[in-house]
């Protein structure tokens, strides 16, 4: 496969190049290409010298010059752009009709040249087709293809070349015009390449193209050998590589990065790696300072470095490379360890043109397969209907008197729940009648579960406040609490303040007051209090409690005495066995068959003591032969 250099492309190839753009819309069914028009050839050709254009509906040519002229024509250029945009090619007659229908403003002013007019006509026709092909609704928006590292150009009939976008000037979109401009240069073109990673560094200043006058001179000297075009003059002008110990073996990551992420290590290896990083930085900056004049004249500066290491090359005091320099580039492909050989490989990868030979059908299939592999555009989410926000009940506008009344109720209920009897007594003397009396219903906005102060106090287990309400405030204990107020499930149940009592002390308070002031209310009927509680009844109840407790204590003492008596009596009645004479030979630990009967009736402590003595005697018997 023939290789090309980006700065010395053949003129024949440049004239036929057109940019290749992926169709940024869903593929459309293409009409089948018409069959080539059969043209009767002259007797001199005999069918051997005929040539055809597959794009322009099989147009046939007699010789190479006619074919080249066709490739430079607006008809062919229009068909190429139309095919790339997904439309069918047109015949020469149809193309002439399309040009005639254009307005005069689209074909340029009268002072414009014919070539400019024709070019404007082609662009206007292509733009018109694009506008006609736009989707009518935003739901049919085209998918945008991602930008690749290579930009491709097409040369009919089946040649494609690819060049890295990073080679072109920043912000440039007309790559074809820039590519043509790159073929001529008044002076030689030089690039600077720098790589650093893992303590390795490689740098070079290379010439990628010679000046135009040198090309002419070299072609004159070579004579006939230069008919294929001059070879690119690539030459390494300066190069330098060195290495410092900055990374721990088989671990990766620089020492500085590790120090920033963790606690600063104090080992000898860490200190050596820190020194290596500083030395590497000084060496690189010293080299850049030495090459400062050459770097100022280069066309591109290629740098491969991590984000922390990029600070080594730029934006330090007296640096030759600025962070905002438009010449800065990164390598658009993966690179290996920084070495001189790797720099050479990357340079060749950048300046060599990528060439492929695919037919129109193969290109079409490739584009459609690529577009099909792209993720589908996300559907525009339909906004959910706004939730209906219910208007909050506006707070009622209160008068000063109502605000004062509400404040007093809040203070009273707060003191009731906290059990402050003295504070409630003094507060009630001042504002009790203004609140409606002791038996008035608590307002709904207060949020209380029960209706009167007595009921709330009984449920809150406030014994002192219940007694004050019954004796001093004369609260009515017979007022009933309905099931709707207290949340009871059965609507037939009716309860009073006594039924709401949270403890026995509260119930005893009701019974005491009922016994002392029997004639105040219907305590035992409507009040649902079972009986009165007098002082004599309370004393009698306390006496019964004491008697019951004393009886329990006496029973416990008797049980303990019985246990001690049994424990002492049983060991004394146990007969004392006379120890048998020591016999030779092994003996069973624990004595004879009567050992179990001998310890029956003993406490666990005494059984353990006897067992220890038996084990001690058995051990002495075993050791007796040894002592002898």
Question: Does 35 score more than 60 pLDDT?
Answer: no
Query: Average pLDDT of 180-201?
Result: 89
User: Domain 167-354 adopts which CATH fold?
Assistant: Nucleotidyltransferase; domain 5 (3.30.420)
* pLDDT tier at 1, thresholds 50, 70, 90: low
Query: Average pLDDT of 284-300?
Result: 93
Task: Tell me the domain boundaries of the chain.
Answer: 25-142, 167-354, 400-533, 595-623
Element (H, E) at 190: strand 189-197
Question: Residue 196, SS3?
Answer: strand
Q: Which of 503, 494, 532 is nearest to 523 (CA)?
A: 532
Q: Which of 145, 125, 143, 124 is nearest to 135 (CA)?
A: 143
Question: Does 31 score more than 60 pLDDT?
Answer: no
CB neighbours of residue 281 within 10 Å: 18
In the predicted model, what is the mean pLDDT of the chain? 78
User: Is 255 annotated as catalytic?
Assistant: yes
Summarised one tens digit per residue, pLDDT across range 304-321 is 998 888 889 988 888 889
pLDDT the model gives residue 218: 63
pLDDT the model gives residue 338: 93
For 200, 280, 304, the CA distances from 277, given in Å and listed in that order, are 11, 5, 17
Angle, alpha carbons 135-136-138 (nearest 5°): 80
pLDDT the model gives residue 238: 92
Least confident of 242-251, 431-440, 512-521, 590-599: 590-599
Summarised one tens digit per residue, pLDDT across range 101-152 is 764 444 344 443 444 444 567 777 777 777 666 655 444 444 555 678 888 8
Say how far apart CA 310 and CA 592 lie, in whole Å: 96
Angle, alpha carbons 82-84-86 (nearest 5°): 75
pLDDT the model gives residue 251: 66
Q: Which residues pair with 441 in a beta bridge?
A: none
Find the length of the chain: 628
Q: Which of 508, 503, 417 is nearest to 470 (CA)?
A: 508
CB neighbours of residue 99 within 10 Å: 19
For 80, 181, 209, the CA distances from 17, given in Å and listed in that order, are 10, 14, 21
Question: Does 223 score more than 70 pLDDT?
Answer: no
Summarised one tens digit per residue, pLDDT across range 443-460 is 888 888 888 888 899 889
User: Beta strand 235-243 with 51-53: parallel, antiparallel or unpaired?
Assistant: unpaired
Catalytic position from the list 183, 227, 251, 255? 255
pTM for this entry: 0.44
Task: Read off φ and ψ for residue 235, nearest 5 degrees.
Answer: -145, 135
Summarised one tens digit per residue, pLDDT across range 556-568 is 888 888 887 776 6
147 or 158, which is more confident? 158
Long-range contacts of 267-276 (CB under 8 A, 24+ apart): 272/245, 273/245, 273/246, 273/247, 273/248, 276/199, 276/244, 276/245, 276/246
């Amino acid at each position: 496969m023939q290789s090309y250099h980006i700065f010395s492309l053949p003129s024949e190839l440049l004239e036929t190049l057109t940019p290749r753009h992926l169709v940024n819309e869903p593929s459309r069914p293409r009409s089948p290409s018409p069959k080539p028009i059969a043209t009767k050839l002259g007797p001199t050709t005999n069918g051997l010298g005929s040539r055809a254009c597959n794009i322009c509906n099989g147009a046939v040519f007699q010789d190479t010059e006619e074919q080249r002229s066709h490739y430079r024509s607006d008809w062919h250029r229009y068909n190429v752009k139309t095919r790339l945009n997904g439309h069918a090619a047109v015949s020469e007659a149809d193309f002439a009709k399309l040009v005639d229908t254009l307005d005069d403003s689209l074909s340029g002013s009268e002072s414009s040249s014919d070539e400019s007019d024709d070019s404007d006509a082609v662009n206007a026709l292509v733009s018109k087709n694009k506008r006609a092909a736009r989707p009518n609704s935003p739901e049919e928006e085209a998918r945008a293809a991602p930008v690749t590292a290579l930009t491709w150009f097409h040369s009919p009939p089946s040649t494609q070349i690819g060049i890295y976008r990073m080679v072109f000037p920043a912000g440039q979109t007309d790559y074809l015009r820039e590519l043509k401009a790159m073929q001529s240069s008044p002076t030689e073109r030089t690039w600077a390449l720098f790589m650093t990673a893992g303590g390795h560094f490689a740098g070079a200043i290379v010439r990628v193209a010679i000046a135009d006058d040198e090309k002419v001179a070299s072609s004159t000297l070579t004579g006939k050998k230069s008919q294929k075009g001059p070879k690119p003059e690539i030459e390494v002008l300066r190069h330098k590589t060195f290495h410092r110990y900055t990374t721990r073996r088989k671990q990766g990551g620089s020492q500085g990065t590790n120090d920033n992420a963790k606690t600063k290590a104090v080992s000898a290896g860490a200190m050596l790696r820190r020194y290596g990083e500083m030395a590497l930085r000084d060496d690189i900056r010293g080299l850049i300072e030495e090459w400062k004049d050459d770097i100022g004249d280069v066309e591109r500066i290629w740098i491969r470095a991590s984000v922390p290491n990029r600070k080594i090359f730029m934006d330090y005091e007296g640096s030759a490379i600025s962070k905002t320099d438009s010449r800065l580039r990164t390598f658009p492909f993966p690179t290996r360890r920084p070495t001189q050989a790797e720099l050479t490989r990357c340079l060749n990868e950048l300046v060599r043109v990528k060439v492929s030979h695919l037919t129109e059908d193969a290109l079409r299939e490739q584009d459609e397969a690529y577009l099909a592999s792209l993720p589908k555009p996300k559907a525009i989410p339909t906004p959910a209907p706004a939730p209906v926000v219910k208007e909050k009940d506006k707070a009622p506008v209160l008068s000063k008197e109502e605000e004062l009344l509400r404040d007093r109720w809040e203070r009273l209920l707060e003191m009731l729940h906290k059990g402050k009897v003295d504070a409630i007594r003094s507060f009630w003397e001042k504002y009790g009648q203004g609140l409606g009396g002791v038996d008035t219903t608590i307002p709904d906005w207060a949020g209380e579960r029960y209706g009167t102060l007595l009921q709330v106090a009984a449920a809150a287990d406030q014994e002192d406040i219940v007694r004050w309400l019954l004796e001093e405030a004369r609260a009515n204990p017979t007022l009933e609490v309905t099931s709707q107020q207290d949340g009871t499930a059965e609507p037939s149940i009716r309860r009073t303040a006594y039924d709401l009592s949270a403890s026995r002390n509260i119930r005893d308070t009701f019974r005491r007051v009922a016994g002392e002031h029997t004639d105040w209310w219907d305590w035992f009927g409507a009040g649902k209090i079972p009986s009165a509680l007098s002082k004599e009844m309370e004393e009698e109840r306390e006496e019964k409690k004491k008697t019951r407790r004393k009886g329990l204590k006496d029973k416990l003492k008797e049980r303990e005495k019985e246990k001690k008596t049994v424990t002492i009596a049983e060991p004394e009645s146990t007969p004392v066995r006379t120890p048998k004479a020591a016999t030779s030979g092994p003996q069973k630990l624990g004595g004879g068959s009567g050992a179990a009967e001998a310890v029956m009736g003993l406490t666990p402590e005494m059984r353990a003591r006897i067992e220890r003595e038996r084990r001690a005697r058995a051990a002495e018997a075993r050791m007796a032969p040894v002592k002898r």
